[in-house]
Amino acid sequence: MVKYDKLDAAIMNKMGTHAQSSSDLYVRDVCRECALIASAERKTLAIDPFQVFNQRLQVLCDAGKIRHDGKGWRRVDRAQAA
């Protein structure tokens, strides 16, 4: 969805090949974008900005762009995925 593109890009830019916790990723621009989306969603639902962040992590994981390995979140190496 278009409204999540900026948030997804911000999350991916923070992520590297080494494991990072959710709290390492949920900073500055990611937090700000989550707050903007949550405030727009509050018109119909009671939603917390961190819920938006967590949902996007799950969507990116389901799309095969990132993974959680027990130590933290990582980008999926395209060579490994193939």
> What pLDDT score does 81 carry?
52
How many CA atoms, within 13 angstroms, populate the side-chain half-sphere of residue 66? 27
pTM across the whole model: 0.86
8-state DSSP, 14 = H
Q: Binning pLDDT at 50, 70 and 90, where does residue 80 land? A: low
State which amino acid sits at residue 21: S
Count of H-run helices and E-run strands, the chain: 5, 2
- 78 pLDDT above the threshold of 90: no
Q: What's 2-81's CATH class?
A: mainly alpha
Taking the C-alpha atoms of residue 78 and residue 40, their distance in angstroms, rounded to an integer, is 34
| Domain range annotation of the chain | 2-81
pLDDT in tens, 5-62: 999 999 999 998 789 999 999 999 999 999 999 998 877 777 899 999 999 999 999 9
